[in-house]
Each structure stands twice: as structure tokens, then as C-alpha cells.
Amino acid sequence: MSQSRAAIVGLAGTTLDPEEVALFRATPPLGIILFARNIADPAQVRGLTASIRDLLGEATPILVDQEGGRVARLRPPHWPEFPPAARFEALPPEAARANAALHGMICREAGFDVVCAPVLDLRLDGAHAVIGDRAFSEDPEEVARQGLAWAEGLQQAGCIPVVKHVPGHGRAMVDSHFDLPRVTAPREMLAEDCGPFAALANLAGWAMTAHIVYEALDPTLPATLSPLVIGQVIRRAIGFPGILVSDDLCMAALRGAPGELARQAIEAGCDLVLHCNGVLADTAAALEGCPVLTEEAAARLAETRARVLAARSPLDAAALLALRDAQLSAAA
């Protein structure tokens, strides 16, 4: 792990390509993230995740976006359909905890140990629909309540949750996949957005940054690349002590060469960067420019992994499903 680059990268297809194997042997990433293009069926995914760990090591983090609703990589017909986070608003937190534990069980079975969820952004009227029903609520306290239950459920299943998108994507008027959002809200409003992240700061092992310029915090740089936002807001005001990973550096909100963006994000205070497009030349450039994992980040990773393993508990999938569905039906 000490020689791994501080990066989580994507793959091109449903198996490790020989060129990817050669690249990862020469400049190993810390971990891998899989998308729909990498997923065919349960046996294939288990084989792919096993081959990744054979190559990079048994402790290699393998990530997946599995929120439910629009954002889910494990889908029917091989995996169950899950409702979006908004369906759990105002329900007892046991429903969200059970739903997240079910997510975690299928992710662990497939070989994933890090799940990019829950979304702790606020669902605000007039904002871009990229968040929408991925968020629990417009109320920061409700987001924190349900987000906490969601993180607990994932941990009970043995998965590390990644809260996102710190310090808050809910006010963005454009989609950061395609353009750079600029949020003009004053600090007082931004403090509300930070509330759920602060509530989960000591439980969530990982957090993902937002590619957004918050003019009241840093009028020049997006949070992912801003030492001001990371140092003064995410680390100090929110008090997040865990692994901070960038959102995908391939998104159009950021401009620049992959290696340079990776270097800037790490220098700004991210522990890890995400580079997801799976294009070999881009991945090679990102890994070449990305520093190796720091000792501090390695310690955070080890602490988080130990804490999640300690939180893992026996789960009854049928009972969890019955509990969740009873709560959803009662609210319908």
C-alpha cells in the first residue's frame, strides 16, 4: 500500500485488460471503482473483483455507486431494484438502515467493500435535478437522521460508506458532470448544507468532495482543488477526520490534464482522487501525476477498515426486506 498512488481508477470492460494489468503493476492505484460497463452478472463481477485483489492485494478497496433509484450499478435482472433516498423521508430510520444493509449485502457478495452513498446533499427547489430524489430531504436534520441510519446499515453489512458531496451539492444550478457550478449563497446558508456532513463526520469513514465553486468560501477554485474549502471547512468547520476522496476528475466541471488535476487535488488536501473513465492513456497519465499514498492517509484507511469490520453483524435479508417494505407501504 505504501507505494500505491493515491488514486481510485476505473476499468475499460468486464475483465482486466492485459494493458491495464501491466500499467497497474508499474504504477499501482490504491483501488478500483466499477461502473455499469464493468458489470454483466454476479459470477462475472465476483471474478473481476477477485482478479483485482489478486493483482493489487487483498486489502484493495473496490468501490461502487449504489444509492438506489437512478444511481445503482447492480440492477435487475441479476440484482433487486432499490428505491431512491427520497422515499425514506419522514420514515422511521429503521427503514433506511434496513435498506442500506440490503444494499451492503449484495455489494459485499459481489466483492465490493466501499459504497459511494449516502448522499447528504439537500434537495432544494429550483436547483439542478442532478441531485433531486437522490437526496433524503430539504431539511438538514432529516438528511442527517436518515443519512446516519444509511451509513450504519452499510457498516452492518461490512461496507465502508462514502458520504457525498461535501460540503454540499444541493444548491448547484448546473450538473458538474457537464459544467462547473458556482454557488453564490452566503456562508450562513452554506452552514446549513454542511450540517448533515458534520453530524456524520465521526461515523463516515470516507467523504467525497464536490466539484463546485462556493464564492463565499473560495471564489476561484472548486472545493476539490481548494485548500481553503478542504482545510477550513471540511476538516475544521465540519470536523471530518476520515478519508477525503475527490469526485471523478474526468467530469467536465474540472479542466486540465489528468495528472495535473490529481496532483492539485492531493495538494489541496484530498487523501485520494477518483479517475473513472477507464481510458488507458488517461488512467496512465492520472497515475503518473498522482503522488503516492501518504502515511497519514494509510493510517486513516486502516482505522476506517478496522472500525467497519468491528461494526459488521449477522443480518437476515428476509427480515430486513420485510421491515423496509412494511415501512414504505405504510407511508404510501
Question: Which candidate in 41, 54, 177, 316 is catalytic?
Answer: 177
DSSP code for 239: -
Mean pLDDT for the stretch of residues 273-294 = 96
* pLDDT of amino acid 174: 84
The three grid cell numbers given for residue 146, joined into one nine-digit string: 436518515
Q: What is the pLDDT of residues 22-56, one digit of tens each?
A: 999 999 999 999 999 999 999 999 999 999 999 99
* pLDDT of amino acid 298: 95
pLDDT at residue 232 is higher than 90: yes
Q: What is the pTM of this model?
A: 0.96
The three grid cell numbers given for residue 135, joined into one nine-digit string: 437526496
**Alpha-carbon span 204 to 240, nearest angstrom:** 9
CA 155 to chain centroid, in Å, comes to: 14
* pLDDT of amino acid 153: 98
Of all residues in the chain, the percent with pLDDT exceeding 90 is 92
Mean pLDDT for the stretch of residues 65-85 = 97
Can 169 be counted among the known catalytic residues?
no
Can 177 be counted among the known catalytic residues?
yes
Structural domains of the chain in order of their starting residue, each with its CATH number: 5-331 (3.20.20.300)
pLDDT at residue 128 is higher than 80: yes
pLDDT at residue 2 is higher than 70: no
The residue type of 64 is V
**Alpha-carbon span 52 to 326, nearest angstrom:** 39
Binned at pLDDT 50, 70 and 90, residue 172 comes out as: confident
Question: Which candidate in 247, 248, 271, 282 is catalytic?
Answer: 247
**Alpha-carbon span 193 to 317, nearest angstrom:** 33
